[in-house]
Structure 1
Amino acid sequence: MGLNTLDLGVIALYLAGVTLFGLRFRSQSRTLKGYFLADKSIPWWAISLSIVAAETSTLTIISVPGLAYDKDFRFLQLVLGYLLGRIIVSFLFIPQYFRGELVTAYQLIDRRFGKRLHFIVAGIFLATRAAAEGVRVFAVAIVIRAAMGALLGNFSDLSRDICAIGIVTLLTLAYTFEGGLSAVIWTDVVQLGIYIAGTITAVFTILHLVPGGWPAIHSIAASADKFRLFDLSFNLTSTYTLWSGLIGGAFLTAASHGTDQLIVQRLLAARTQRQSQAALLTSGLVIFIQFSLFLLIGAMLFVFYRINAPASPITRTDTLFPTFIVTRMPHLIAGLLIAAILAAAMSNLSAALNSLSSTTIVDFYSRLRPQSSEAQRIRLSRASTIFWALVLFALAILSRNGGKVIENGLAIASIAYGGLLGVFLLGVLTRRASENGAILGFIVGFAVNLYLRFGTSIAFTWYVAIGSIVTFITGYLASHIMPIKPTPVSAEVSQCSN
């Protein structure tokens, strides 16, 4: 069927509307704390929804239904680990962050260990977050290719991808550049509502299209074991088991929500420590409902295509949901759903741009140029946002030949998360760990994760758990044989509190 002018009008209206809405929060702040933490004025419920939006990218919406279509609901075992990881972060890391006027997660490492390790972990964040985000941004091209393939028939695949990624990147950059974290969080709230409403609309549309409705869908999907949730086997090469989900998911979330500036920045923007904890814990419940909804769509599409054979074989499940929207959904609803998927893309991208910029300025520029004025730092923060937009655009184009985008994105992030989490645990749980020992532990843990990724068949869900344990043990033992230097006091931490 394809999209028509009405659908394209809906998409264009959404893109223009959300950009203008974000520009309403044009920041007049003259401090880094105001630009990157919204002056700690955001209510907890908005931070909670923003956390969900920030960790939900286009690849989540298009890939997770494909997992259920291809397999079953076992991905939810990982989400159960996400809930456990949030509890760990709430009571282990958040109190540490609220003991000082911090702007980034990595200032905590500076305060505990020193400048060298501070630069290392911040640099690793910049490299791996950019690489993982490039994969996520590329998911936009998958959607546009499926949605507008017929309309852009005269364009090559590369040209279409460049146009799609470029438009979304440019519009997201506009309000992120102007409004800082305040614009990012409030547009996140709106975009979350849009793509959740779109997803629910898709569920009811599929129910209408399948003869017999839910009873028929449940019967066929259940007979194909699509609703299988638990796998009790213990196998390090199996991606989704109960043990890899609970253990691996908990470690992954402890790292992503406790050491990754993309999420920590939102937690630091809360008015109080208690509100920060409430925001993180409630976001876990929303995430569980959201992933259940995405997986349900995958199972329903399995039934739909079993009754209505697709026009061409489905070779890549990442394209399953967007292709269904374009070819089977009624006009107007199809446009709304494509807009909903783009909403997730812009939300995740704005979060990445703001966190990459804050780390660049606070953890590097301000440390290397402590004499710079606050006005200079604000100007450079905006310039840094433009720089990272260009970097992510380029990385998204380079990601065109990857496999399943959600698993690629998680795997890339997981390589660094093991070492990062191990270092943070050394700083929070021990007093004897030294900077030299922590650096050695990080190097060993990072190397182990690289080996796991490229030299073994171990599932990515175990990377963070193994890497962080190796980092912690190595760093702790090394600290006993390396001299412990006095912990330096970070000048930048005090500057950011002014």
Structure 2
Amino acid sequence: MTPFTVLLTVALYVALLFTVAWRAGRRADNAAFFTGGRRIRWYWVALAMIGAPMSGVTFVSVPGSVAADGFTYMQMVAGFTIGQLIVAYVLVPTFYRLKVVSLYEYLDRRFGIRTHRTGAAFFLLSKTVLSALKLYVVCIVLQQLVCTPLGIPFAVNAVLTVLFVWGYTRRGGVRSVVWTDVLQTLCLLAALVSALIAIPRALGTPLTTMLGEVLESPYARLFVFDDPLSVRSFGKMFVAGIFILVAMTGLDQDMMQRNLSCPTARDSQRNILLTALCQAVVIQLLLMLGAMLYLYADKTGLTLPDKGDGVFAAVAVHGGLPLIVGILFVLGLVSSTYSTAGSALTALTTSSIYDFAHDVRRRDEKSLRQLRHRVHALLAVAIAALIFLFEYGAGDSVINLVYRVVGFTYGPILGLFAFGMATRIPIRERWVPAVCLLAPAASALLQEVLLRWTGYAIGFELILYNALFTIIGLLIIQKRNEK
């Protein structure tokens, strides 16, 4: 693919994205921005949610991880399924009963305003940084494929990317996000299916034969039972998958804002269950594709990048496959990243207003719309500033550190909600911020101590220790003189 082909593909997608967002956002009021007016049909939300958790990073990383990890990621996906049931039948009824707009309003009603804002602050920190990092990844790809060959500086690339995201979510909010997520899901599935079909054809091998080779290859290893200390052992990944899903979907304003746009809790539950099934299938197909990419490279002598994240792009764009595969890959990458960033910007706006503006429910429609526009724009500027920081002030090691640090922030949120829903214990609320700051520090210390003294490597289950330390801290600060 030439730079002009990639640029034309991106431009056509952005035009389609704005068309869909404009149609969805016509006559949208504040309720439509924050909750979709709770009038979006559950099956449309389910289709949107298939691709919603899959950013551009996921789109390229899952296939690229197969060489090192095989299909072991499916162990965590099995845990995701159990987590979806908890979200559907524990969290969803609670949120609908309380009629919350921001999930963290629950913490206010259970504990008080300080806990409410602490939980929201952890969400805002993690989601802002992650959104910027995900947009940074797609900016790098576009810089390599388009901007550098055409002499366009990175700053222009980054500003235009953020402007696109800000522009298509400014009016419609959740209503626009759901429909653009549907578009993203279709693009992602088209890219996936086209590659799965094109690779066997390029090798002159029937698809069924190719799938048989995948299942017989070393890449197809699914379970790890023989090494319980491994970060990829079945027990650790399965249990971690349950709680990661609950924390990063059920307690994440970004993910749940779509689910809460359904008219009723029952509709939301139907959407979640269908989403769980479809996401498991899509992730398995991505892993199958990863194995096929490596087998294709072995048979054709194609040189692959050192990093797994670049494997899908290398084969799709420069691997000798039909042009349509490269075009659909670019569409899948761009659509998944723009959609993820757009929904995150909407969720950040919602959380900032409903969690930190004390008079939000007393504002009239015009005043709330003006506040919404200001906050939305300021958050877009913050994301752009972080992208510049990653490009001009951070190396790869710092970016990896950002991912690890952000991974700690969901643990306190999980701990707060678990403690609030499982107990009726009152707490001395002024100490909650300190507890939520100390819990990740204690988790990091435990991780280092266990690795050094016992060889036990804490992997994805780190979120459990993080939440546990939060719960222990809340027990310590309980009001013992009250029942």
TM over 0.5: yes
Partner of 1:415: 408
Cα deviation for residue 99 of structure 1 reads 1.4
CA contact (8 A) 1:19 1:172 kept: no
Q: Secondary structure at the match of 2:462?
A: helix
Q: Provide closer, same or farther for how the CA distance between residues 455 and 170 of structure 1 changes in structure 2, counting only shifts above 3 A.
A: farther
- Distance in 1 between residues matched to 2:146 and 2:458, nearest whole Å: 35
Q: Counterparts of 2:86 and 2:169 in 1: how far apart (Å)? A: 30
Structure 2 residue 48 is the aligned partner of structure 1 residue 50: yes
What is the rounded CA distance, in whole Å, between the counterparts of 1:435 and 1:368 in structure 2? 25
Q: Which amino acid aligns with 1:193?
A: L
Q: Find the aligned partners of 1:30 and 1:18 in 2 and give their Cα distance.
A: 20
Structure 1 position 287 matched with structure 2 position 279: yes
Q: In the aligned structure 2, how far is the partner of 1:234 from the partner of 1:368?
A: 54
2:241 alignment partner AA: G
Cα 1:344/1:403, change in 2 over 3 Å: farther
1:45-88 Cα offsets, whole Å, 9 max, x none, are 12222333321100010111100133311111111111111111
Of the three residues 253, 256, 261, the one matched with 2:245 is: 253
Gaps of 5+ in 1: 486-498
Residues in 1 aligned to 2:448 and 2:156: alpha-carbon distance in whole angstroms: 32
CA contact (8 A) 1:25 1:183 kept: yes
- After the TM superposition, which residues 233-382 of structure 1 pair with which residues of structure 2 at under 5 Å, given as runs? 233=226, 235=228, 238-311=230-303, 314-328=305-319, 329-365=321-357, 367=358, 372-382=363-373
Report the counterpart of residue 454 of structure 2 in structure 1: none
Mapped to 1, the partners of 2:166 and 2:6 lie a distance apart of 24
Name which of 95, 107, 110 aligns with 1:109: 107
Change in Cα spacing, 1:324 to 1:72, as seen in structure 2 (3 Å) is: same
Contact 1:221 1:302 in 2 (8 A): no
For structure 2, the residue ranges without an aligned partner over 5 or more in a row are 452-456
| Structure 2 counterpart of 1:398, one-letter code | L
Per the alignment, residue 14 of structure 1 pairs with 13
Q: Counterpart in 1 of 2:119?
A: 121
For each residue in 1:153-187, what CA deviation from the matched residue of structure 2 results, as whole angstroms up to 9, or x when unmatched? x46xxx34x44443332222112001111011111
Taking every aligned residue pair, what percent have the same amino acid on both sides?
A: 24
- In the TM superposition, residue 469 of structure 1 has moved relative to its aligned partner by 2.0
Alpha-carbon distance in 2 for matches of 1:222, 1:317: 20
1:166 aligned onto 2:165: no
- 1:351-378 Cα shifts (integer Å, max 9, x gaps): 100000001111112x167754442222
Write the distance in 1 (CA, Å) between the matches of 2:383 and 2:482. Answer: 39
Match 2:92 to one of 66, 91, 94: 94
SS in 1 for 2:220: coil
Cα deviation for residue 195 of structure 1 reads: 1.3
Rounded to whole Å, the distance in 2 between the matches of 1:83 and 1:279 is 13
Contact residue 93 and residue 265 of structure 2 kept, 8 A: yes
Could you give the per-residue CA deviations for residues 434-490 of structure 1, whole angstroms, max 9, x where no partner exists? 253755643442322444678875444112111112222332343154x559xxxxx
Match of 1:178, SS? coil
Say what the alpha-carbon RMSD is for the aligned residues: 2.7
Structure 1 pair 37/22, CA: closer, same or farther in 2 (3 Å)?
A: same
Question: How far apart are the structure 2 equivalents of 1:213 and 1:21?
Answer: 38
The more displaced of 254-263 and 238-247 is: 238-247
Q: Alignment partner for residue 185 of structure 2, among 186, 192, 217?
A: 192
Q: Kindly tell me: are residues 48 and 452 of structure 1, through their superposed partners in 2, closer, same or farther at Cα, counting changes over 3 Å?
A: farther
Count of paired positions: 473
Instruction: Report the Cα distance in structure 1 between the residues aligned to 2:361 and 2:325, rounded to whole angstroms.
Output: 53
Residue number in structure 2 paired with 1:467: 466
Q: In 1, Cα distance between the equivalents of 2:450 and 2:23?
A: 49
Which residue of structure 2 lines up, in the alignment, with residue 493 of structure 1?
none
Aligned residue identity for 1:77: Q
- Where 1:229 maps in the other structure, the secondary structure is coil
Partner of 2:139: 141
Measured in 2, the distance between the counterparts of 1:135 and 1:7 equals: 22
Deviation at 1:296, TM superposition (A): 1.1
Moved more, 217-226 or 91-100: 217-226
Q: Answer whether contact 2:412 2:467 (CA < 8 A) is retained.
A: yes
Shift of 1:147: 3.2
State the 1:120 CA deviation: 0.9
Equivalent residue for 1:202? 195
Q: 1:428 is matched with which residue: 406, 421, 431?
A: 421
Residue in 2 aligned with 1:490?
Answer: none
SS at match of 1:179: coil
Structure 1 letter corresponding to 2:123:
F
- Paired residue type of 1:467: N
Matching of residue 226 in structure 1 with residue 219 in structure 2: yes
Q: Check whether the contact 2:198–2:325 (CA below 8 A) recurs between aligned residues.
A: no
Cα distance in 2, alignment partners of residues 320 and 413 from structure 1: 26
Q: Which amino acid aligns with 2:308?
A: T
The range that moved more, 423-432 or 332-341, is 332-341
Q: Which moved more, 1:107-116 or 1:321-330?
A: 321-330
How many angstroms apart in 1 are the aligned matches of 2:144 and 2:292?
A: 20
- Secondary structure (helix, strand or coil) at the match of 2:219 reads coil
- Deviation of the 1:111 alpha carbon: 0.7
Q: 1:448 to 1:52 in 2, by over 3 A?
A: farther
Contact 1:68 / 1:295 at 8 angstroms: preserved in 2?
yes
Q: 1:49 to 1:452 in 2, by over 3 A?
A: farther
Worse overlay, 324-333 or 114-123: 324-333
Q: 1:59 aligns with which of 41, 57, 60?
A: 57
Q: Which SS does the other structure have where 1:105 is aligned?
A: coil
Residues in 1 aligned to 2:482 and 2:360: alpha-carbon distance in whole angstroms? 27
